[in-house]
């Protein structure tokens, strides 16, 4: 039942509308009073949502003798809501470039935002933007947790490869950790001589997914599961993290030497 409710909500039915409709499919014609009692809402509230469902073509009103009833239409009637949703999605996609241009024209200058001491973000989209910002720098140092099952982009390799093509000055040093880390970095390494990587020793555990150190900024990124990310801008903070990274980098053996130790 929960799965059905979730699907109906994707067709813009409210939670109450979905429950009313599914209840009527199960019970057959019913009075508004009985229907309201079944799903535990007020009768006056039920009338409001019933009218909404009638307008959507999902239920009908009946008169049987002296009784006024409501009944569900055939489930096939959902098809027109699916088509409506599809048409709306196509329209939204087609209008997106124009809307972006309009929003960009009314959007204030971003420099004040980018120069903020601390920026908080949520979700995968903003995590990608932090990386894209870092790709514009000349030097980027990262601690990166590799997980093939949950990549930041559908094709991380292509994104990183394009970043080195667009920014000819970009150099990246990456200390990698994670269950699938030993077979991922080669994809990027084979396409540029400006990418360097080492593996974090297994006994060391970092709680964040990625840490980026670039252009007087330190970004702590957690994008899996809708996690939050933070970007800290501070020359002192950046320099301290950079020095610690370089110190650790010099202690960690090269990938080939690390493999020989196993």
% of the chain with per-residue pLDDT over 70 = 88
Name the phi and psi angles at 34, rounded to 5. -65, -40
| pTM given for the model | 0.61
Query: Looking at residue 262, what is its pLDDT?
Result: 37
User: Is 175 within 8 Å of 144 (Cβ atoms)?
Assistant: yes
> What's the pLDDT band for 29 if we cut at 50, 70, 90?
very high
| CATH numeric code, 117-261 | 3.30.870.10
- Whether residue 208 is predicted with pLDDT greater than 80 in this model: the reply is no
Give the CA distances from residue 250 to residues 92, 115, 128, 254, in Å, rounded to whole numbers and listed in that order. 51, 31, 29, 9
Mean pLDDT of 183-188: 55
Q: What is the 3-state secondary structure (H, E, C) of 169-191?
A: CCEEEEEEECCCHHHCCHHHHCC
> What's the pLDDT band for 20 if we cut at 50, 70, 90?
very high
> Strands 171-177 and 195-199: what pairing?
parallel
Give the residue extent of every domain in the chain: 2-75, 117-261
- Whether residue 257 is predicted with pLDDT greater than 80 in this model: the reply is no
Write the pLDDT tens digit of every residue in 82-120: 999 999 999 999 999 898 888 878 766 555 555 668 889
CATH architecture assigned to 2-75? Orthogonal Bundle (1.10)
Beta-strand ranges (E) seen in the chain are 59-64, 67-72, 118-122, 139-145, 171-177, 195-199, 210-214, 217-221, 228-233
Write the pLDDT tens digit of every residue in 46-87: 999 999 999 999 999 998 888 899 999 999 999 999 999 999
Query: Looking at residue 116, what is its pLDDT?
Result: 66
Query: Looking at residue 211, what is its pLDDT?
Result: 94
* DSSP classification of residue 109: P
- Whether residue 199 is predicted with pLDDT greater than 60 in this model: the reply is yes
């Amino acid at each position: 039942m929960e799965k059905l409710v979730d699907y109906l909500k994707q067709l813009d039915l409210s939670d109450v509308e979905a429950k009313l409709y599914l209840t009527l499919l199960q019970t057959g014609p019913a009075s508004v009073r009985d229907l309201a009692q079944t799903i535990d809402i007020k009768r006056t509230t039920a009338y409001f949502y019933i009218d909404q469902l009638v307008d959507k073509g999902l239920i009908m009103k009946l008169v049987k003798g002296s009784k006024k009833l409501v009944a569900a239409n055939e489930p096939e009637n959902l098809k027109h809501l699916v088509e409506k949703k599809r048409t709306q999605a196509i329209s939204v996609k087609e209008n997106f470039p124009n809307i972006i241009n309009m929003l960009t024209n009314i959007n204030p200058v971003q420099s004040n935002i980018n120069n903020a001491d601390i920026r908080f973000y949520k979700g995968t989209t903003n995590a990608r933007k932090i990386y894209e910002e870092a790709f514009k720098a000349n030097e980027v140092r990262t601690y990166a947790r590799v997980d093939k099952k949950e990549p930041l982009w559908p094709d991380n390799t292509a994104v990183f490869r394009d970043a080195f093509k667009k920014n000819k000055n970009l150099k990246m040093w990456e200390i990698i950790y994670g269950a699938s880390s030993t077979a991922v970095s080669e994809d990027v390494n084979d396409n540029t001589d400006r990418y360097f990587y080492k593996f974090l020793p297994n006994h060391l555990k970092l709680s964040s997914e990625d840490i980026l150190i670039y252009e007087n900024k330190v970004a702590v990124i957690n994008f899996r599961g809708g996690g939050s990310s933070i970007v800290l801008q501070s020359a002192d903070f950046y320099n301290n993290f950079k020095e610690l990274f370089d110190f650790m980098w010099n202690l960690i053996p090269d990938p080939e030497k690390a493999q020989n130790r196993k």
